[in-house]
Structure 1
C-alpha cells in the first residue's frame, strides 16, 4: 500500500515534467490555433517591394513603430538585433521587419537612416496612409496621432507595441509585448526555427 503513493509521487515529480517539455512553451502569448498571417505588400526602404509571402521558409518577426519614437521602438529594435546575433548562423533564417505607423513622416530615406544602427537585415516598410492603415487593421494594431504640447505641427504616435512571430509556413504563432528580455525573444525564435 505504501508503494502506490511513492510511485504516484515519483510520476508527478520526475516523469510528467518530462512530458511537459519544460522550456518548450513560448515565452510570449500564443495564437492557438495558429492562424495565417495576413499578407503584407508594401514598399521597403531598400527601394524594392516587400511581400510577406516571399519569406516563407524563414521565421519572420514584425514590429510596428515609427522613426520619431525615442523610447520604445529603438529599445525593441536593439533587442531584436541582439536576439538575431545570439542565434548565430541560425539567425540567417530570421527576417526582421519594421513597419511604420507614421507614413506621413517615415519615407524610405528616413527609415534607412533610422534603422542603420540596428541589424542590417531589418526590412523597413512604409507606404501610403491607406496601405499602412490596412496592415494595421489586419494585425489589430492601434495607432493614434497625439499632438505635442505647445506645438501646432509636431506629434507623437501612441501605438500598440508587440512583436509578431510568424513561422516558416506563414502562420502567426506568438505575440510578445514590449519589454520582454532578449533571451525570451531568442527562446521563441529557437522554437520556431526548430519546427
Structure 2
C-alpha cells in the first residue's frame, strides 16, 4: 500500500500547467488542419499546393523533343518519379498502373502516365523510349536538365538521393508515390507504393469520373 503523501499542486504552478495545456491544444489543431491526410477526396484537396509555379519547366521526351510542363495539361495524368535502373519500385509501379488501366478499359481512354527521371545523366531519351516501348502510347518518359527536374521535385514534395554502390556506380533512393493530376494540372490524390490493386482501381475510377 502506498503510504507516501499525495502531492498538491501549488497555486504558483497553475500558470505553467495552463500554458502547457494551451500549447498542446494548439499543436493538435495545427496537426488536424495543416498536415495532409492520405486519401482525402478531391473536394477537400490536401494537395492543392502541389505542382504549382512549374508551368514553364522544360523537359525532354523519349522522342528527344522539348516540352513545357503546361503543355501536358488537358488530360488526366498519373505522374511519378524514378529511374530506369530502379530494381523494384519503378518496374512494379509501371506494371501495376498498366494492369489497373487495363481493368478500367474505356473509362481510362484519355488517361496518360508520365514518368519523370531523377537520373537524367543515364536516362537519355533513347533509354526512356526502350524502357516504355512495351507499355503502349499512353506511357511517357521524361528527362531533362537537372535544374528543371529539381523544380518539379520540389513542387511535388518528392525526395531523392544518390547512393554509391560498387565501383563508380550508384543507385537512387526516391519517393515511391504516384500523383493523380487532373486536366488543369492540379494534384487531387496520390497512390502509395504497395497499394492494393483493387484500391488502386477504385481510386483511378473515382479520379476519372
Q: TM-score range by the shorter chain?
A: 0.7 to 0.9
Q: Which entry has the higher C-alpha Rg, 1 or 2? A: 2
Pairing 1:70–2:80 present: no
Greater RCO between the two (CA within 8 Å, min separation 6)?
Answer: 1
Q: Does the CA-based 8 Å contact 1:98-1:124 persist in structure 2?
A: yes
Q: Does the CA-based 8 Å contact 1:35-1:173 persist in structure 2?
A: no
Pairing 1:113–2:130 present: yes
Q: Secondary structure at the match of 1:99?
A: strand
Q: Does the CA-based 8 Å contact 2:47-2:189 persist in structure 1?
A: no
* TM-score in terms of structure 2 length: 0.72
Pairing 1:135–2:160 present: no
Displacement over 4 Å in runs of 4+: none
Change in 2 beyond 3 A, CA 1:64/1:36: closer
* TM-score in terms of structure 1 length: 0.77
Of 184, 194, 197, the match for 1:182: 197
The answer to which structure has the higher strand fraction is 1
Q: Does the CA-based 8 Å contact 1:41-1:52 persist in structure 2?
A: yes
What RMSD over aligned residues (CA atoms) do the two structures have, in Å? 2.0
Q: Secondary structure at the match of 2:141?
A: strand
Pairing 1:160–2:175 present: yes
Shifted more, 183-192 versus 104-113: the winner is 183-192
Q: Secondary structure at the match of 1:93?
A: coil
> Where does the alignment leave 5 or more consecutive residues of structure 1 unmatched?
1-27
Residue 184 of structure 2 corresponds to 169
